[in-house]
Structure 1
C-alpha cells in the first residue's frame, strides 16, 4: 500500500489534487501549523492500492513446530519444555532458600487436611487425596512455568469427579473398588486431554471463557460443594441424587431429617467452622505483622479434633471418623482401563479437564503478571497433563491448582517451585509415619474445612451488583450460569455459561455500535456527536462503524448507513471512518461496493478513511478499486477526506449551471478554475458584468451567458456566477482591465479608476483593496487561464496568497475531472 502526496509541479498535477486552505483568524492558523503570513497549506493524502503485504505469519507458525537446528536451539527448546532447567541453575540459594522453606512447610500444613477432605468430595478413601498431594506437585515443579502455583487436590475438580463417576455408575458406592477405578481412570484421561491440547498449542481456547462465566460458574459450584458436605456436617445419610435439581432435593432431605443428626458431630463441625473462619479473618487483618505467615487454622482444628476424639472416644458415641489409612506410598501401576466404560470416562473427563486448565492457567497468568515474568499457556497444558497422567499411575485423583494454597504461597514470597517439593516431601513423611493418628479425625471437621475454604467463592456474589451497574447482558449471563450450575449440575452449568457467553459475543459482533462524527475543535479530532459537543460538516456525513465488517454484520452496516443517509438532506459526501475495522471478509468488501453504487446513484460520493492494509486487500478482491477507477475515494485519515469534501464542495459546480458563489469564498480559497474562463466587461455605472459568451470567438461553454456581478456600492462583495464548460476564451474581444479601490476601514464606497484601460488579448486584471493601502488583492488571468491565486490580504492585512500570477501553480486548487463531469451531469 502506498500513500502519495500531491506534487507541486504543474506537469505532475494531472490526476493529483493540491488543496490550500486559509484560516480566518490567527489562533486557528497557529493551531494547524500555518506560516507566519497566516497561510496553511495541507496536502491531502490519497491512498492508492498496489498489492497485498505478506507478513510471513505462515512461516512463523511453521517454524514454531520445527526441530532446533543447532546447540543453542536445543538449549532454548529444553528450557521451554522443561522450565526447571532454567530456574534450578539460576537459583539464589543464600537469599531464597529460607523463604521457600517457610512457604513449603506452610503449604504442607494446608495440604494435609485438604487432601483428606477433598478425597471425600471425589468419593475415594482419604489416602488417595494424600497421594495427590505428593506426585502431581513434584511433576509440576519440573514442567510448570509458574513460580507460586500449588498443584494438588482441588475442591471443584474433586466434586466434578465424584458427581461424574456417580452419574456414570447410576449412583455407585463412594469408596468402592469400582468407584475408585473410575476416578483414577478419569485422572489419566484428563491428563491425556490436557497433554494433547498442549502439543497442539490450543492455549487460546480459554478466551471463550469470559470472566463473568468463570466467576458465576465457580460460585455456583461452591454452593454445590457446600451442599455435598452438609450430610457429613450433620451426619445424615442422604440419597445419591444424580438427576437435575439434585441440590434442592438434598436441601429438602436434610431439612426434613434434622432430627436424626448426631449432636457431637454437629457441635464439633460448627465449632471448627467458627474457629477456622476467625483465623482467616485474623490472617487477613494482621497479614503484615505476621510477615505473611498465616495461622494454620485447619491444622490446629485437625490436631485438636483428633485429640478430643481419642480422649472422649467419639467413635464409640456414633461420630463418623476417617478410620484406617494405609501406610506408605503405592507402587506404580496402570490405571484400570479394563474395569471401566472408557466412553463414559471420556465424557466425564472433558469438563474436568477444561475447568482444571481454566482455573490453573488463570491463576498462573495472574501471578506471572504481578511477578513480572512469563507463564506459557501451552506449556501449562503440557505440565498439567503430565501431572495427571503420572498421578494416575499412583492412584491420584484429578489434580489442579488450589486457589487458597497458591495465594498463601504467593503472599509468603516464594521464589520458585521449591515449596511444592518441600511440601510433597513432608506429606511423604506423614504417609510413612503418622497415618495412624488420622483414624480418630471426625468427618464433620473435614466438612468444616471444605465449607470455610469456599469463603472466597461465596464473596463472588458481589459481582451481581457491579455487573448490574455496568453491563446488563453480562449480569444475565452470570445469573443464568449460576442458576444452571446449582440446579442442573456442574457440567450443565459450564456448558450453559460458555454457550451464553458466545451468544452475547455473536450478538455484539452482529450489532456493533455505529455513530455520526463531528469535528471537535479543542482536540482537533472527530468524535461521536451524541457523546461530545462537536461541529457537523456541511453536506457531509462522517460515520463510524465500530467493529470488523463480516458477513454477520454486513446487513446491519448497510441498513444503518442507508437509514442515516436518508434521514439527512443535501448530503454530497459520506465519509466512513474505517479505523475500527480491523478485519473484513469478502461479504464486507462487497457491501462497501454496494454502498458505493447506492450513493453514487444519488449523486453522493462514498469516501473511506483510515483503511488498514488487510482491509484494502479484501476491498481489492471484492472489486472496489476497479469500481472506483481513477477517482479518489480512499484517504489516510478522516480529516483528509473531510478536507477533500470541503474543497470540492466549496468550488464544485454540482447543482445548476451558473450557481452563485460568494466572492469571499473565492478570495479565501485562492480558486483556480483550470481552463474554464469567465469573460467580463466594465460599465461606468459602478458594476462589472459579463457579456454573453456567444459574442466571443470559440466560446464552447454549455450555456449562453456567464454572469459576474460585483456591487461596488456596498462594503462587501456579493456573489459571482461562473459558467461550466470546456470553454476557450476569445483571442480578442471586449475584455477590459479595470482597477477599483476602497478603504473598508472608513466605509468609503468602491469607485472606478480608469475603467477604459484595455487589456491585452485574452488577458484581464483587476484589484480589490479590502483593508487599506497594505491590504490588496490582485487577480491575474493570462492567456485564457485565470488563476485566482495571486497575492491577497484580508482586512487585517494578513497575506492570503502567493506573490504573483506567474507562480500560479503554487497553492492552486485543481478541480478533478470527475467532479466536473459529475457537476455537468
Structure 2
C-alpha cells in the first residue's frame, strides 16, 4: 500500500549556492594534498614514552589486576574458577585421548600454556586449553609421525605398511606445539593479527561443524568397544564407517551399554536438569565429573577391564613432567600441519575473545593474542602439551557462571595442579567409553550449527554455498583440505563481488536535487538527452571491461558502433539511388538524441592507471559522436590519479568534473537550454 506524498506535512530544505566544478572547488577552498613521508620511521619521542602504558600493553594482566574490584568480582570469579576446574578434568582427559596422546596430556594442556596466556592474553573470558577440533587435527599428525608401538589399542592396518619412527605420540604433539608457537610468534612480529579475517563467520561455522562430525565418527569405536586400524590420509570418516560396519559383530555390549547410559544421563542433564538448576543458581551440576567418578568406582570394583574387556584410560602419573626439548629432527616434518592448526586455533580463540569483549565492553588486541598464544604454546611444548585453543563450551560456561577476569583461569589452574600432583592415579580406571560419551555430548553446540545454513541461504546464497562446501569437504575428504577449500571459496566470493560492481541509471526526483535508481524508483524522471550512470566499485585492470560493457549497455549507445552506423547512413544517403528501407533501418540504429553522459563516481572506491586509461578512451569515443562526459563525485585519491595519468590535462571540451550530480545537471541544462524543476545559485539553508 503506497502512501500519498503530502508536501505540506514534509519538512523542506532549500539550498542556494554557486554551481561548482571540481577545479573551482579546490581552488576556492584551498585544497592541499596530505603529505606522507614513508622514509621517516614511526616512533615516539622520548618525552612521549610512558612506562605504564608500555607495561599494560605488553603484559595485559596488569590492565585488569590493578583495577580489580574484590568486593564486586572476587566471589563470582572463585565460583567460576572452581566450575572451570571441574569441567577441565573430564574434557582435558577426553580431548587428550582424541589427540591420540595419553589422557593426562590433555590436563597438562589445561595447565602449563594457560598460565602464560593469563599473563599475556587480552581476553578476560577465554578458557584456553584443549578443544575438540584442534585435538582432532593434532591426532591426525600424531598418527602420521608417531611409532605404532605406542598405540596399543589400535590394530594394524593391513593396507598400509607399518613405519617405526621411534617417536612417541607425546613427542609428536610437543613438536607440533613448538612449531605452532614459532609460527604464531612470526605472525605477531609481522602484525598478522588480521589474518583471522580470511576465516569468515560462514567458513568457521561450516569448518567447525564438519570437524565436529569427524570427531563424532572417530568416537564410535570407543563407544562400541571395537578395535579398528589407524586410518590416515583422505576420506577417513568414510573409511571409519566402513570399518565399523565390517566389525560391528565385535561390539562389546558392556561398553555399548555404559555408553548408552552415560549419554542418556548427560542428555537429561543438559535438556532438563540444567534449565531447572539455572532458575535457582548460575552454578551448573558438574555431571561430567560425577559420571567419571561414579564410572571409576564401578570400573575398579567390578573389574570391567578384566572381566568384560572394557578399555580404560590406563596409567596416569602423579606430579608434573620434567621439561624437555621436542625432538629437533621432527620439527621440519610437521610445518605444513602446524601452519593450518596455528591459523585455525588462533581464529577460533580470537573470535571467541571478540564475542565476549563486545558483550562486556572491553577491547582485545589481535596481535597481542598471537603473542599470548605463541608464548603459551612454546612454554607448553617443553611440558608435553598439545597446542592450546579457546574452548567454546568452557568459555560460555565461565561467562554464564559470572566470571569477570582471568582470575577464573588462575583458580582453575591451581585446582588442576592439585589433581595432577596427588589425584591423577584415581582416574586410571576411567573407561574410555565414558570419555567418548562426554566428547559426543560436548559436540552438540557445534553440530547444531547446521541450523545456520538456512539463515545463510536467506542472507546470501554464496555464503550458504561456502558453508555447505566447507563442511562436506571436511567430513568427506579431510580437515586440512576442507579448510583450504573453504578459504579458496571465501576469496573467490570476494573476487566475484569485486568483479561484479553495482551499476544503474539514475533518474531525477522532481523539485529536488535527488537522483535515484530509475529501475527501483518509479517516480524518477529522465532528463531529455541526458543519461546518469552510477558505478559502485573499483575501476582497475580487472574491472575496466565490465565498466565499459555496463556503461554502453545501460545508456544504449556504443560509440564505436554508433560511428559505424552513422558512417553507413551518410554513405547510403549520399548515393544517387537510395534504398529507403535500408536508410530507415540505419536511422533506427543511430542515436542523435544523447547529448551528455554523467558518470557518478561517488561510490567508486579506487582506481588504477589501467582503469583511468580505459576511462580516457571512453571519453575520446564519446567525443567522436559529439557527446559530453561529466564525471561527478570523485574522491580526492581518484581525482589525483586522473590528474597524474593526464586525463585532466588534456583540456577537452567534452570532459568536465563536478562535485555533485546536481551541479552537472544544471551545467547541462544551461548549455542546452533545458528547463529544470529547480536551479541553484547561492548556499543558504532557509528552513528545516
Quickly name the TM-score band, shorter chain normalised.
Answer: 0.7 to 0.9
Deviates more, 1:494-503 or 1:478-487: 478-487
Residues 238 and 253 of structure 1 are in contact (CA less than 8 Å); yes or no, is this contact kept in structure 2? Answer: yes
Are 1:92 and 2:69 an aligned pair? yes
Q: Which residue of 1 aligns with 2:285?
A: 295
Residues 624 and 92 (structure 1), Cα distance of their counterparts in 2 relative to 1, 3 Å cut: same
Q: 2:313 aligns with which of 317, 322, 325?
A: 322
For residues 713-728 of structure 1, the aligned pairs below 5 Å read: none
Task: State how far apart, in whole Å, the 1-side matches of 2:182 and 2:122 are.
Answer: 19
1:210-230 CA-to-partner distances (Å, cap 9, x unmatched) read 222111111111111111111
Are 1:574 and 2:601 an aligned pair? no
Specify the structure having the higher radius of gyration (Cα): 1
Q: 2:631 aligns with which of 575, 588, 608?
A: 608
Are 1:564 and 2:587 an aligned pair? no
Residues 276 and 452 of structure 1 are in contact (CA less than 8 Å); yes or no, is this contact kept in structure 2? Answer: yes
Q: Which residue of 2 aligns with 1:414?
A: 403
Give secondary structure in 2 for the equivalent of 1:139: helix
Are 1:200 and 2:190 an aligned pair? yes
Q: Which residue of 2 aligns with 1:180?
A: 170
Give secondary structure in 2 for the equivalent of 1:495: helix
Give secondary structure in 1 for the equivalent of 2:599: strand
Q: CA deviation at 1:297?
A: 2.1
Q: CA deviation at 1:535?
A: 2.2
1:194-235 CA-to-partner distances (Å, cap 9, x unmatched) read 111112111121222222211111111111111111111111
Q: 1:593 aligns with which of 616, 639, 651?
A: 616
Give secondary structure in 2 for the equivalent of 1:276: helix
Q: Which residue of 2 aligns with 1:384?
A: 373
Task: State how far apart, in whole Å, the 2-side matches of 1:257 and 1:191 are.
Answer: 40
Q: 1:538 aligns with which of 516, 528, 542?
A: 528
Q: Which residue of 1 aligns with 2:14?
A: 33
Q: Which residue of 2 aligns with 1:82?
A: 59
Residues 595 and 606 of structure 1 are in contact (CA less than 8 Å); yes or no, is this contact kept in structure 2? Answer: no
For residues 4-23 of structure 1, the aligned pairs below 5 Å read: none
Are 1:113 and 2:90 an aligned pair? yes
Residues 194 and 353 of structure 1 are in contact (CA less than 8 Å); yes or no, is this contact kept in structure 2? Answer: yes
Q: CA deviation at 1:472?
A: 2.0
Residues 21 and 658 of structure 2 are in contact (CA less than 8 Å); yes or no, is this contact kept in structure 1? Answer: yes
Give secondary structure in 1 for the equivalent of 2:409: helix
Count of aligned residue pairs for this structure pair: 624
Q: 2:669 aligns with which of 632, 640, 646?
A: 646
What's the RMSD between the two structures over aligned residues? 2.7
Q: 1:161 aligns with which of 113, 121, 138?
A: 138
Q: Which residue of 2 aligns with 1:19?
A: none
Give secondary structure in 2 for the equivalent of 1:527: strand
Task: State how far apart, in whole Å, the 1-side matches of 2:10 and 2:417 are.
Answer: 80
Are 1:45 and 2:57 an aligned pair? no
Residues 101 and 419 of structure 1 are in contact (CA less than 8 Å); yes or no, is this contact kept in structure 2? Answer: yes
For residues 687-706 of structure 1, the aligned pairs below 5 Å read: none
Q: Which residue of 1 aligns with 2:237?
A: 247
Q: CA deviation at 1:524?
A: 5.4
The structure with higher relative contact order (CA 8 Å, sep 6+) is 2
Q: 1:143 aligns with which of 108, 117, 120?
A: 120
Are 1:54 and 2:28 an aligned pair? no
Residues 469 and 523 (structure 1), Cα distance of their counterparts in 2 relative to 1, 3 Å cut: farther
Task: State how far apart, in whole Å, the 2-side matches of 1:168 and 1:202 are.
Answer: 29
Residues 468 and 552 (structure 1), Cα distance of their counterparts in 2 relative to 1, 3 Å cut: same
Q: Which residue of 2 aligns with 1:309?
A: 299
Task: State how far apart, in whole Å, the 1-side matches of 2:650 and 2:360 are.
Answer: 54
Deviates more, 1:503-512 or 1:532-541: 532-541
Structure 2's unaligned 5+ residue stretches are 1-5, 153-165, 558-590, 683-688
Are 1:365 and 2:388 an aligned pair? no
Task: State how far apart, in whole Å, the 1-side matches of 2:315 and 2:148 are.
Answer: 25
Q: Which residue of 2 aligns with 1:623?
A: 646
1:135-154 CA-to-partner distances (Å, cap 9, x unmatched) read 11111111000110011011
Task: State how far apart, in whole Å, the 1-side matches of 2:442 and 2:132 are.
Answer: 9
Task: State how far apart, in whole Å, the 2-side matches of 1:29 and 1:365 are.
Answer: 43
Q: Which residue of 1 aligns with 2:570?
A: none
TM-score by length of 1: 0.72
TM-score by length of 2: 0.85
1:312-349 CA-to-partner distances (Å, cap 9, x unmatched) read 221222111111200011122222224x2x32211111
Are 1:210 and 2:200 an aligned pair? yes
Q: CA deviation at 1:371?
A: 1.2
Residues 195 and 383 of structure 1 are in contact (CA less than 8 Å); yes or no, is this contact kept in structure 2? Answer: no
Residues 628 and 655 of structure 2 are in contact (CA less than 8 Å); yes or no, is this contact kept in structure 1? Answer: no
Structure 1's unaligned 5+ residue stretches are 1-24, 35-40, 652-664, 671-800, 802-809, 812-825
Residues 171 and 497 (structure 1), Cα distance of their counterparts in 2 relative to 1, 3 Å cut: farther
Task: State how far apart, in whole Å, the 2-side matches of 1:146 and 1:252 are.
Answer: 43
Deviates more, 1:453-462 or 1:49-58: 49-58
Residues 358 and 569 (structure 1), Cα distance of their counterparts in 2 relative to 1, 3 Å cut: farther
Q: 1:469 aligns with which of 458, 465, 484?
A: 458
Residues 524 and 442 (structure 1), Cα distance of their counterparts in 2 relative to 1, 3 Å cut: farther
For residues 490-569 of structure 1, the aligned pairs below 5 Å read: 490-520=479-509, 525-533=514-522, 534-566=524-556
Q: Which residue of 2 aligns with 1:270?
A: 260
1:381-434 CA-to-partner distances (Å, cap 9, x unmatched) read 111111101110111111110010001111222221100010010000001121
Residues 110 and 621 (structure 1), Cα distance of their counterparts in 2 relative to 1, 3 Å cut: same
